[in-house]
Structure 1
Amino acid sequence: MTPPIAAGVIGLGVGERHIAGYERHPGCRVTRLADFCPDKRADVASRHPERPISADADAVLDDPEIAIVSIASYDQHHFEQVVRALDAGKHVFVEKPVVLREDHARIVRDKLREKPHLKLSSNLILRRCPRFRWLKAEIEDGRFGEIFHIDADYQYGRLHKLLGGWRGDLPGYSLVLGGAVHMIDLVLWLTGDRAVEVQAYGNRIATRGSGFANHDLVQAIVRFESGMVANIGCNGGCVKPHFHKLEVYGTAASFVNRLESAFVYRSRDPGMEPEAITEAYPGVDKGDLLHDFVDAVIEDREPEVGVDGIFSALAVCFAIERAVHSGRAEPVRSF
């Protein structure tokens, strides 16, 4: 019998949920954990006493028995840890964003070209949402006609996380890379279209007077190869619960997401009731992509969230960041 693949997890906030995701796969076992915070280590150790927990990520990255590394550390550590894991010949599942800088994204992409046998994925979990999977199937079946406009907004609803904690402490924390990336990936995945140019605006009104040093609101207009135009944004200061606003407009139907249910309009007749879509939203857990990722490693194939999709979404993120700071339209530079 083939022994299970050994996985290690760095960062035990959301990373603790990675443990369950790996352990649900019969061919994988989590053998080592790491987190710099002593209180977090003690807390997680109380639930996982059988797993060694280290203060230093090196214990995971340098372990020759570990084949898969989950990186769920703070964003500013992702690049170094991803590069070290790839250089050590390990497959990598990393929380978004993979990196914080455009030049770092190019370095990671080039390393993956040099080591095509290694798998990398990221936790762009909205692809697993049952409601959005239903929508993608409808679009692919042609039931929406030609998509000409999408309005997608990452409504954070967690302003306290920008005002305190590591996000508030990180110089220039990007809500685009940390939040809007979900909506960007969702738009790219739903349509299969390629973004070519971005114009964007932002403000800091909700965090004015705090130490938060970047925009807490960003709204971007994204032009696509097909001619489709999307509004994609992130709203850090909204006074409402966390939500993924999504409206999709095709020549044959329109989709509007709401918390309780979504609605599809198939007629412009005001007397025609929209169709209620009751598939679950969000209906996903942070570890749900890991079973497929382990399968991808075993079967030597691309994971559900693959390298091309990850770097396409990052390219749009970086174009938005450039546009919001330059005040000009910016091209989307592919990796």
Structure 2
Amino acid sequence: MLGRALKSAVVGLGVGRQHALALLKDPRTELCAIVEHDEVRAQDFVQNYKDQNIQISTFNEVVGCDEIDLISLASFDGDHFHQVMAGLKHSKHMFVEKPLCQTRPELEDIYALWKTSSCALASNLVLRKAPLYIWLKDLISSGALGDIYAFDGDYLYGRVHKIMSGWRSETENYSVMEGGGIHIIDLMLMLTGQKPSEVYSLSNKIATRNTDFQYHDFQSSQFMFESGLIGRVTANFGCIHRHHHVIRVFGTKGTFLYDDAGPRIHWTSDEDKTADFVKEAPLPAEKGVLIPDFIGTIINNDIIESAYQEFDLMSVVLAADEVLNCKKPTRIEYLTC
């Protein structure tokens, strides 16, 4: 247990602004510094919270500052690996926007370094805190849906212009599964309480052909589990659709659906019966909602389970990308026991 507030810094004020606001609200932390390449954005933030005495810094200044305990990373995907490694080397607790890294060798390097540290490490997978999925996890765990035999999920990005220009189009080896589909894979692991053993993936680049975006914009991955459960997850960045996600969980006693029509459960196949709608919210209230839990893991020195969750998730996501090159089902290798 620490006897003082954790001193923190935020890198990147896009979605990182939500991280910063969460840190400002939590009495267990003191936001000391921000790192932001857009000088106007940085100055505006500091002026809006000038009573907090927040400093505008560089990443090297923040990571090298002995007083900083926690760094929240909301930088570009291609920067995460090197910044996470630097943070761990300087004994910083690291809260990282997804993805944690981009390749399996990077993940192995992070894992090896993390094991030698006493640092907390977590990613910002915000659907973990959505009231709907907390409720659904409890329902599945109770056995009310019976044996779960299939999970289907679609990440409908609906913002194709963001990958045709801007930092995503400039990021080497940008992955739509790592950049968006990861949320659905994370839900699959969380809701089923199982880890897949094999994965097979296909992809295409039709929606963004003849554009500056170099990589595939649609990916479909199928996951096989030891229990016989089959999961299917798509990352659909080129779709003509509002930003949304779709989840279907099929059990032997009931079927859960979430799509444009709202969350609902079918308890019967009777054509005269309608589904029961669920009132729980499918999104968390804000994108910094996981910050308080992360602070709690640091204060309570409960860092192993949360970090293992991230390493398992990234093992699955990266395997789903790697299998695109071999065109056959591939066994997923986990770093954790």
Whole-angstrom distance in 1 between the partners of 2:144 and 2:158: 33
Is the counterpart of residue 85 in structure 1 residue 87 in structure 2? yes
Is the counterpart of residue 98 in structure 1 residue 100 in structure 2? yes
1:1-50 deviation digits (Å, cap 9, x = unpaired): 93311011111111111111112221111001111232332332332333
What do you get for the CA RMSD once the two structures are aligned? 1.5
Within a 5 Å distance, the mapping from 1:247-286 to structure 2 comes to 247-259=248-260, 261-286=262-287
* Paired position in structure 1 for 2:30: 29
Whole-angstrom distance in 2 between the partners of 1:73 and 1:26: 25
Within a 5 Å distance, the mapping from 1:156-171 to structure 2 comes to 156-171=157-172
Amino acid at match of 2:201: A
* Paired position in structure 2 for 1:119: 120
* Paired position in structure 2 for 1:184: 185
Query: Structure 1: which 5+ residue stretches go unaligned?
Result: none
Whole-angstrom distance in 1 between the partners of 2:19 and 2:289: 9
CA contact (8 A) 2:126 2:284 kept: no
**TM-score normalised by structure 2 residue count:** 0.95
Amino acid at match of 2:178: L
1:160-210 deviation digits (Å, cap 9, x = unpaired): 110011001112210111111111111001111111111111100000001
Amino acid at match of 1:97: P
Amino acid at match of 2:61: A
CA contact (8 A) 2:85 2:110 kept: yes
1:206-261 deviation digits (Å, cap 9, x = unpaired): 00001211110000111012110011110001111111110000111100002452
Whole-angstrom distance in 2 between the partners of 1:298 and 1:221: 38
Within a 5 Å distance, the mapping from 1:234-245 to structure 2 comes to 234-245=235-246
Whole-angstrom distance in 1 between the partners of 2:11 and 2:160: 26
Is the counterpart of residue 334 in structure 1 residue 337 in structure 2? no
1:104-134 deviation digits (Å, cap 9, x = unpaired): 101111112222x211011011110111111
Amino acid at match of 2:329: A
Aligned length: 332
1:122-153 deviation digits (Å, cap 9, x = unpaired): 10111101111111010011101110001111
* Paired position in structure 2 for 1:14: 15
CA contact (8 A) 1:9 1:60 kept: no
Shift of 1:325: 2.8
CA contact (8 A) 1:61 1:85 kept: yes
Is the counterpart of residue 223 in structure 1 residue 224 in structure 2? yes
Amino acid at match of 1:170: T
**TM-score normalised by structure 1 residue count:** 0.96
CA contact (8 A) 1:259 1:281 kept: no
Q: Name the SS for the 1:306 alignment partner.
A: helix
Q: Name the SS for the 1:324 alignment partner.
A: helix
Identity among equivalent pairs (%): 31
1:59-111 deviation digits (Å, cap 9, x = unpaired): 21111111011111111111111111111111110000010111010111111
1:275-311 deviation digits (Å, cap 9, x = unpaired): 10011121331110001111111111148x8112211
Is the counterpart of residue 306 in structure 1 residue 309 in structure 2? no
* Paired position in structure 2 for 1:144: 145
